[in-house]
């Protein structure tokens, strides 16, 4: 029977190929995800290992607040180098100038006069001891000279090769570099690569000798980092214990092994999040593929009724018949999974191109194909294929031997067929309850919510699929109306063919339904989030012009001062920002000018008024309503604040306001600007609001462009800019969900091809009584389009329902906004999918030989 099954499969090459594609795409997504993330993870680990291999420990700034952009500004005197070298277990040590928390240490200016990167690194190294340069504390790893020589003297500099390539600099060229806001001209002595140059975001790098860097970066007589090499037999932990007594409270020493362990843990955590995200879409594609395989094998079993009955007549048992169908599915699964595994390599490369196009660069090294990748991909592909083949196989065992001598014999209905709609209703109701519980229930863990939402959504798809046969006829009557009106006889026959076997039509439409449901949810929720964001900006801000930071990083307050001082500016205010520890947790704190902020920003006060801002004093603060509720705060409550520099302060809550949750522009905690300026030595702004004459806009825009790290907006443009990143993310989601729609397209092609085989004799009879080739093609095309529109109707309806449910669950973050243009586009995609799926079947139907078709069994 196994031989019979394999021969039968080989005899149906076209059907087998189309069925296999459904699994190929899903497995390719899974395999590609594993290959991409494993390769990226290993490349990052290689960089981490190599960057810490040359040293055993390092001394650097203690980071009290991880999210801060200023840090403690801790440095060490040059004299500490001799003290460290004198320790018994130290073989050698070297100091380096490398400010770690400055965003624009050494901005390399491009040929256009603007900063070549949004972030920059300035370093001073001892070129006589490069084997000890920049260990754990250095965020960018050892440097490798690519061209030229190391910089000598204050007129020479070495830059990174990426900047040299993109900005067309070569050894000997003059270059302008802004060090801590002051521009200087240097001669390019050489170019370097650094081990983590592919890690996002990639900054520009400028390297000087130690003495030059100390002068340029305001580190005279100081080091930022000290790298230490241990004597043989001395461990990193022993070095830490020996060095610790020499250090003040704002410095730390860390061994290489501890640094590597921490870096590896962080890197693996980030990669695991990417892997989980991508595997979800691979799972969706496999789910759709399971529908396709189930549908294909069900149709195939129905079409082989006489063949299977003949086998029973010749002595085959039910078990042998079932085994033959399962073997057919197993063979398909193995071949398709193997092809998908190979295709996964191409998918991984394609994902890298996609991610690069979105502006994120991942480490690129050798490709890793782990044993886990092979086993997981093959196991998923083969397992899902086998599961999808079980029901068709069981149905095949119910073919009675007498069917072999009957013409037109069909499979008897299953005992559950009559109750499928009842089962579908129950499954759908339970699934909806699970989704509602996951969306609306409070106090439920994140894992429980994910299980409820994921399981509920899968169950809802299954329930609708079971109910769909009852919906086919009314839906076909509605969406098939254009075909009947313009398609003539072919259109009428197409409508009749769609409802002839509602179960088959429903399962075919269900494949498209899944993809369109998810795409619709993304579109509607995305439109709702965008609408809420734009409304939130409008509700909070009333300003002619707004300047904010690039990459969500604050910019120097001196830049905001330049904007405020421009001629023609009638009113202005600057919003300072910094990350601090509040009661031990990281929070953003903003500094507001009480005299000017209310001219631009509208506070929705819960407790207090605009006058409260003038009463903050040196220890007052206002907080958001959400923060107050989460931390059980009221007016008069105390907040313990620790700055990045390690200074402690007590703040008293003076007022509470309620900003829009969709896009709050101020931090959870705000204080007076004078208090803010006294607490933080390196002042940073996150926003500058300006009112000015229309003729001043060009000057403001030009000045903002010269600052390099800020963006200029009108009020209307600012609201749109806040939704730009979301549009990019939605585009990526559409691409990933598109794989499931491609799978459904193959499912539709498969069903239509099988339908042509099944109706060969019928089509021959229609041709005999006068149907033309063109009418035959039109009939198949309309049938495919009607099926696609049924899937689109179910998908759009279900997607809208789920999106409305999601919108109601987060009314503060999204408003119900129906993107009619996007939904119309999805409907057009469904029509095009139907037309595309009909090309091959319609061509075959129109080319059937009439006499052969009439005699076909």
Q: Is 313 a member of any domain?
A: yes
More confident of the two residues 148 and 645: 148
Q: Is 436 a member of any domain?
A: no
User: For residue 196, what are its two tokens?
Assistant: 């983590």
Q: Residue 438 to residues 298, 455, 827: CA-CA distances in angstroms? A: 35, 10, 30
The SS3 assignment for 115 reads strand
Q: How far apart are CA 158 and CA 147, in angstroms?
A: 9
Minimum mean pLDDT range among 132-146, 172-186, 429-443, 623-637: 132-146
Q: Is 248 a member of any domain?
A: no
More confident of the two residues 55 and 169: 169
My answer on whether 69 and 52 are in the same domain is no
User: Among 48, 40, 35, which residue's Cα sits nearest to residue 356?
Assistant: 40
Indicate if the pLDDT at residue 342 is higher than 70. yes
User: Among 504, 516, 519, 505, which residue's Cα sits nearest to residue 475?
Assistant: 505
The confidence score (pLDDT) of residue 135 equals 40
* Final residue belonging to a domain, choices 708, 739, 760: 708
Q: What number of CA atoms fall less than 13 Å from residue 338's CA on the CB side? A: 5
My answer on whether 61 and 50 are in the same domain is no
What digits encode the pLDDT tens for the residues 171-223? 999 999 988 778 899 999 999 876 444 444 567 889 999 999 999 998 999 99
Q: Residue 750 to residues 178, 297, 306, 737: CA-CA distances in angstroms? A: 63, 10, 21, 21
More confident of the two residues 124 and 705: 124
Q: How far apart are CA 19 and CA 298, in angstroms?
A: 12
My answer on whether 267 and 227 are in the same domain is no
My answer on whether 633 and 733 are in the same domain is no
- The per-residue DSSP string of 343-365 comes to HHHHHHHHHHHHHHHTT------
Q: Is 183 a member of any domain?
A: yes
Q: Are 116 and 109 in contact (CB under 8 A)?
A: yes
Angle at 797 between CA 791 and CA 800, to 5 degrees: 135
Q: How far apart are CA 777 and CA 93, in angstroms?
A: 81
The confidence score (pLDDT) of residue 834 equals 82
Indicate if the pLDDT at residue 323 is higher than 90. no
The confidence score (pLDDT) of residue 170 equals 92
What digits encode the pLDDT tens for the residues 218-271? 899 999 888 888 888 887 788 888 999 998 888 888 876 666 666 667 667 777
My answer on whether 341 and 264 are in the same domain is yes
User: Among 822, 751, 756, which residue's Cα sits nearest to residue 788?
Assistant: 751
Q: Are 141 and 46 in contact (CB under 8 A)?
A: no
My answer on whether 608 and 743 are in the same domain is no
Q: Is 428 a member of any domain?
A: no
Give the full edge-to-edge strand order of the sheet including 225-230. 90-96, 225-230, 57-61, 251-255
Q: Are 565 and 750 in contact (CB under 8 A)?
A: no
Q: Are 515 and 288 in contact (CB under 8 A)?
A: yes
Count the neighbouring beta carbons within 10 Å of the beta carbon of residue 265: 10
What digits encode the pLDDT tens for the residues 7-39? 555 556 666 676 677 788 778 888 888 887 787
The confidence score (pLDDT) of residue 138 equals 42
Indicate if the pLDDT at residue 139 is higher than 50. no
pLDDT averaged over every residue in the chain = 80
Q: Are 292 and 329 in contact (CB under 8 A)?
A: no
Q: What percent of the chain has pLDDT over 70?
A: 82
> How many residues in total does the chain contain?
857
pTM to 2 decimals? 0.75
* Final residue belonging to a domain, choices 708, 728, 754: 708
What digits encode the pLDDT tens for the residues 659-713? 998 889 999 999 999 999 888 877 888 899 999 988 888 888 888 887 777 889 9
The confidence score (pLDDT) of residue 340 equals 86
Give mean pLDDT, residues 110-117: 81
The confidence score (pLDDT) of residue 196 equals 47
Q: How far apart are CA 837 and CA 590, in angstroms?
A: 57
**Host domain of residue 283:** 1-56+255-412
Give mean pLDDT, residues 308-320: 71
Q: How far apart are CA 655 and CA 666, in angstroms?
A: 14
Question: What is the domain count for the chain?
Answer: 4
pLDDT band at 136 (very low <50, low <70, confident <90, very high): very low
Q: Is 738 a member of any domain?
A: yes
Q: Is 16 a member of any domain?
A: yes
Strand intervals (E) in 80-199 = 90-96, 106-108, 120-125, 143-148, 156-160, 174-179, 182-194
Indicate if the pLDDT at residue 363 is higher than 60. no
Indicate if the pLDDT at residue 522 is higher than 70. yes
The confidence score (pLDDT) of residue 687 equals 92
Q: What number of CA atoms fall less than 13 Å from residue 574's CA on the CB side? A: 22
Q: Is 529 a member of any domain?
A: yes
My answer on whether 52 and 68 are in the same domain is no
My answer on whether 48 and 67 are in the same domain is no
- The per-residue DSSP string of 487-537 comes to SHHHHHHHHHHHHHSHHHHHHHHHHHHHHHHHHHHHHHHHHHHHHHHHHHH
What digits encode the pLDDT tens for the residues 745-781? 777 777 777 777 666 777 777 778 777 888 888 888 8
My answer on whether 621 and 529 are in the same domain is no
My answer on whether 221 and 339 are in the same domain is no
Residue 6's φ and ψ, nearest 5 degrees, are -70, -40
* Final residue belonging to a domain, choices 684, 708, 732: 708
More confident of the two residues 42 and 419: 42
Q: Are 162 and 219 in contact (CB under 8 A)?
A: no
My answer on whether 700 and 729 are in the same domain is no
Angle at 257 between CA 254 and CA 259, to 5 degrees: 50
| Cα separation of the two ends of the chain | 23
Residue 156's φ and ψ, nearest 5 degrees, are -115, 150
What digits encode the pLDDT tens for the residues 727-751? 777 877 887 788 778 777 777 777 7
My answer on whether 75 and 190 are in the same domain is yes
């Amino acid at each position: 029977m196994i031989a019979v099954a394999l021969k039968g499969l080989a005899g149906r090459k076209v059907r087998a190929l189309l069925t296999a594609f459904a699994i190929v795409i899903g497995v390719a997504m899974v395999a590609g995800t594993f290959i991409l993330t494993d390769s990226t993870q290993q490349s990052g680990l290689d960089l981490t290992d190599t960057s810490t291999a040359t040293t055993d420990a390092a001394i650097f700034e203690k980071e009290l607040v991880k999210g801060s952009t200023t840090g403690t500004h801790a440095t060490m005197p040059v004299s500490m180098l001799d003290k460290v070298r004198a320790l018994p277990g130290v073989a050698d040590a070297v100091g380096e100038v490398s400010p770690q928390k400055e965003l624009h240490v050494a901005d390399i200016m491009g040929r256009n006069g603007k900063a070549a990167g949004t972030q920059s690194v300035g370093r001073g190294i001892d070129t006589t001891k490069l084997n000890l340069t920049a260990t754990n504390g250095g965020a960018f790893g050892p440097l490798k000279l690519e061209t030229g020589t190391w910089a000598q003297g204050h007129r020479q500099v070495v830059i990174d090769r990426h900047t040299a390539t993109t900005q067309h600099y070569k050894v000997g060229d003059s270059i302008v570099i802004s060090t801590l806001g002051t521009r200087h001209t240097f001669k390019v002595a050489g170019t370097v690569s650094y081990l983590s140059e592919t890690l996002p975001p990639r900054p520009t790098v400028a390297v000087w000798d130690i003495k030059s860097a100390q002068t340029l970066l305001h580190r005279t007589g100081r080091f930022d980092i000290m790298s230490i090499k241990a004597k043989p037999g001395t461990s990193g932990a022993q070095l830490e214990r020996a060095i610790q007594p020499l250090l003040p409270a704002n410095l730390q020493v860390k061994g290489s092994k501890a640094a590597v362990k921490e870096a590896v843990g962080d890197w693996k955590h980030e990669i695991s999040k990417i892997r989980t995200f991508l595997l979800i879409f691979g799972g969706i594609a496999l789910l759709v593929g399971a529908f396709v395989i189930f549908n294909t094998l069900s149709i195939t079993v129905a079409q082989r009724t006489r063949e299977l009955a003949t086998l029973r007549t010749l002595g085959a048992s039910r078990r042998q018949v079932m085994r033959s169908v399962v073997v057919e599915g197993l063979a398909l699964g193995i071949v398709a999974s193997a092809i998908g595994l190979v295709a996964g390599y191409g998918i991984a490369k394609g994902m890298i191109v996609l991610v690069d196009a979105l502006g994120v660069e991942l480490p690129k090294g050798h490709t890793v194909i782990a044993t886990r990748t092979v086993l997981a991909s093959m196991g998923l592909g083969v397992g899902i294929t086998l599961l999808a083949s079980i029901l068709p196989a069981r149905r095949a065992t119910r073919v009675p031997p007498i069917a072999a001598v009957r013409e037109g014999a069909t499979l008897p209905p299953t005992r559950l067929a009559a109750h499928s709609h009842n089962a579908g209703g129950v499954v759908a109701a339970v699934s909806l309850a699970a989704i509602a519980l996951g969306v609306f229930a409070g106090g439920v863990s994140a894992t429980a919510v994910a299980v409820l939402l994921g399981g509920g959504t899968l169950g809802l798809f299954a329930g609708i699929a079971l109910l769909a046969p009852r919906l086919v006829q009314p839906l076909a009557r509605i969406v098939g109306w254009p075909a009947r009106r313009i398609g003539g006889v072919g259109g009428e026959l197409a409508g009749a063919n769609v409802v002839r076997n509602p179960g088959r039509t429903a399962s075919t439409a269900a494949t498209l339904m899944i993809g369109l449901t998810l795409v619709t949810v993304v579109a509607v929720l995305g439109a709702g989030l965008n609408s809420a964001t734009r409304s939130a900006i409008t509700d909070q801000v009333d300003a002619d012009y707004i300047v904010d930071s690039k990459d969500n990083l604050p910019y120097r307050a001196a830049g905001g001062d330049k904007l405020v001082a421009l001629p023609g500016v009638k009113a202005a205010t600057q919003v300072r920002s910094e990350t601090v520890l509040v009661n031990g947790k990281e929070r953003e704190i903003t500094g507001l000018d009480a005299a000017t902020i209310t001219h631009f920003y509208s506070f929705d006060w819960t407790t207090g008024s605009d006058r409260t801002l003038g009463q903050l004093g040196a220890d007052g603060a206002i907080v958001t309503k959400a923060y107050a509720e989460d931390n059980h705060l009221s007016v008069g409550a105390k907040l313990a604040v620790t700055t990045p520099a390690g200074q402690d302060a007590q703040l008293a809550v003076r007022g509470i306001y309620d900003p829009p949750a969709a896009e709050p522009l101020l931090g959870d905690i705000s204080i007076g600007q004078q208090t803010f300026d006294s607490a933080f030595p390196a002042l940073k702004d996150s926003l500058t609001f300006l009112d000015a004459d229309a003729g001043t806009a060009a000057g403001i825009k030009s000045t903002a462009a010269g600052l390099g790290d800020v963006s200029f907006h009108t009020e209307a443009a600012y609201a749109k800019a806040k939704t730009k990143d979301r549009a990019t993310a939605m585009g990526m989601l559409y691409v990933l969900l598109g794989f499931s729609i491609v799978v459904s397209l193959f499912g539709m092609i498969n069903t239509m091809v099988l339908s042509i085989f099944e109706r060969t004799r019928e089509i021959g009879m229609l041709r005999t009584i006068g149907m033309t080739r063109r009418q035959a093609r039109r009939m198949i095309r309309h049938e495919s389009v009607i099926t696609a529109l049924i899937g689109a109707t179910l998908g759009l309806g279900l997607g809208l329902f789920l999106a409305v449910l999601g919108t109601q669950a987060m009314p503060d973050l999204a408003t119900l906004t129906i993107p009619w243009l996007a939904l119309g586009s999805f409907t057009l995609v469904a029509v095009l999918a139907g037309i595309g799926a009909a090309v091959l079947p319609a061509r075959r139907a129109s080319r059937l030989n009439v006499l052969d078709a009439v005699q076909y069994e």
